[in-house]
């Protein structure tokens, strides 16, 4: 896959290659490895005997961690240098085997996992790399599980067949997602989303939201007091537009403004025109109290919105209250779904913003019912 992306024009940084470079003969890295594991990990020519080292570290978790502590910082430093040297319009691909194990996925705009069944992996390691079957299985056992990989994967590619099969998937990914995503990021814009379409509830929405939450948290740092999955996709069983809405809680609008560039760099350019929510007179009629900042995903493959609201503001509270109420009230949930389906049909040939505005009167009226539920059940938003 990495070779195919390079052929298409990507700048590919190979972590495995860098891991070999930082322990080449004469390097400080190799000297530190020998000090940690002994002269037995060297060949007669003074190079690292990878098979001997693998036999040690993949059978001993402590030894593997010692090796990682030597190699990973050096690989990370060299990776940063190569990424900084890439042209501004480049699609940079980091080909890294330990993306999950080192919890690196949130630092990238997309995480792509290339999968093959375990038996196919074993066969390829034995045939292509000359490993023993026992060594191959030990290496696989030391790596992340498929479930752990799926949890971080924005894109899952099936590499169980012939090379041409995965190449076709890569070509489509390049044209439909990677190239337009790079351009959107560079120009600080977001894709046109078209008319509203209501989709059945997708059980993967919460997991997709968690991946976005991790990226937002990393980009926003301490200014994000909390990041929550809100909106319809956070309500189990509710049909909705395939849009992930996140709320970023900030201490002030000044903090929200300070996050404009970090969030844009992370893949979420700002939407300057969407700077306030519709006031709910029964809750707080002052429009100034409903101010916010809004960002949207630049990723053509994942529609997402970020709403930056000040902690304690009425809009902040309602964004947390509304899905909590819908999760608890089946009738309200059904009522809201029916409204969305009707308005989506009525606005099928209009801009998505008009569909959103058409829901506002129902939201305003429903806020009283939601607040009554909160008072009755003792619900209150958790303060960050």
Query: What is the DSSP-derived secondary structure letter of residue 237?
Result: T
What is the structure's pLDDT at 315? 96
Q: State residue 327's pLDDT score.
A: 97
Could you tell me what percentage of the chain is helix, strand and coil, using 3-state DSSP and rounding each to the nearest 5? 55, 10, 30
- Going from N- to C-terminal start, the domains of the chain cover 2-187, 205-377
Distances, alpha carbon 336 to alpha carbons 111, 205, 277, in Å: 34, 19, 19
Closest-CA residue to 17 (of 112, 95, 100): 95
Q: Residue 236 and residue 211: Cα distance in Å, rounded?
A: 18
HSE-CB at 361 with a 13 A cutoff on CA atoms is: 5
**Cα–Cα distance for residue pair 361/368, rounded to 1 Å:** 12
Question: Token pair of 30, please?
Answer: 């190799």
Q: First vs last Cα of the chain: how many Å apart?
A: 42
Under a CB-based contact definition with an 8 Å cutoff, are residues 152 and 99 in contact?
A: yes
16: CB partners within 8 A, 6+ apart: 95, 97
Tell me the CATH number of domain 2-187, given options 3.40.50.620, 3.30.40.10, 3.40.50.300, 1.20.140.10: 3.40.50.300
**pLDDT tens series, the chain, 384 aa:** 999 999 999 999 999 999 999 999 999 999 999 999 999 999 988 999 988 998 888 888 899 899 989 999 999 999 999 999 999 999 999 999 889 988 999 999 999 999 999 999 999 999 988 889 998 998 888 889 999 999 999 999 999 988 888 899 999 999 999 999 999 999 999 898 777 899 999 999 999 999 999 999 999 999 999 999 999 999 999 999 999 999 999 999 999 999 999 999 999 999 999 999 999 998 899 999 999 999 999 999 999 999 999 999 999 999 999 999 999 999 999 999 999 999 999 888 777 778 888 998 998 899 999 999 999 999 999 888
User: How deeply is 130 buried, as exposed, middle or buried, from its count of CB atoms within 10 A (0-12, 13-18, 19+)?
Assistant: exposed
> CA angle at residue 329 from 281 to 353, to 5 degrees?
50
The per-residue b/e assignment along 2-32, b for 16 or more CB within 10 angstroms, e otherwise, is bebbeebebbbbbbeebbbebbeeeeebbeb
How far apart, in whole angstroms, are the C-alpha atoms of residue 304 and residue 232?
12
What dotted CATH number matches 205-377?
A: 3.30.460.10
């Amino acid at each position: 896959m990495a070779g195919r992306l390079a052929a298409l024009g990507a700048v590919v940084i190979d972590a495995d290659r860098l891991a070999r470079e930082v322990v080449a003969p004469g390097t400080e890295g190799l000297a530190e490895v020998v000090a940690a594991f002994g002269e037995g990990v060297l060949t007669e020519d003074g190079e690292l005997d990878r098979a001997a080292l693998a036999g040690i570290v993949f059978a001993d978790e402590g030894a593997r961690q010692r090796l990682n502590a030597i190699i990973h910082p050096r690989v990370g430093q060299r990776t940063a240098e190569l990424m900084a040297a890439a042209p501004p319009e480049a699609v940079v691909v980091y080909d890294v085997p330990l993306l999950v194990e080192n919890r690196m996925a949130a630092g990238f705009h997309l995480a792509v996992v290339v999968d093959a069944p375990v038996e196919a992996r074993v066969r390829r390691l034995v045939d292509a790399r000359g490993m023993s079957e026992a060594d191959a299985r030990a290496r696989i056992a030391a790596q992340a599980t498929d479930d752990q990989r799926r949890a971080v994967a924005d894109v899952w590619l099936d590499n169980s067949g012939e090379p041409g099969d995965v190449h076709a998937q890569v070509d489509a990914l390049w044209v439909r997602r990677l190239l337009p995503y790079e351009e959107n990021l560079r120009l600080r814009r977001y894709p046109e989303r078209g008319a509203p379409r209501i989709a059945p509830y997708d059980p993967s929405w919460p997991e997709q939201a968690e991946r976005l939450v991790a990226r937002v948290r990393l980009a926003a740092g301490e200014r994000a007091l909390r990041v929550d999955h809100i909106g319809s996709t956070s309500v189990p069983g509710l049909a909705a537009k395939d849009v992930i809405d996140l709320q970023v809680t900030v201490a002030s609008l000044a903090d929200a403004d300070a996050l404009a560039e970090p969030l844009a760099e992370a893949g979420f350019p700002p939407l300057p025109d969407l700077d306030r929510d519709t006031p709910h007179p029964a809750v707080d009629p002052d429009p100034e109290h409903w101010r916010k900042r809004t960002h949207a995903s630049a990723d053509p493959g994942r529609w997402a919105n970020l709403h930056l609201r000040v902690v304690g503001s009425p809009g902040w509270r309602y964004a947390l209250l509304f899905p909590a109420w819908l999760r608890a009230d089946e009738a309200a949930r059904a009522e809201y779904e029916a409204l969305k389906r009707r308005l989506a049909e009525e606005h099928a040939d209009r801009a998505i913003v008009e569909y959103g505005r058409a829901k506002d009167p129902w939201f305003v009226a429903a806020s009283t019912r939601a607040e009554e539920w909160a008072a009755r059940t003792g619900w209150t938003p958790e303060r960050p």
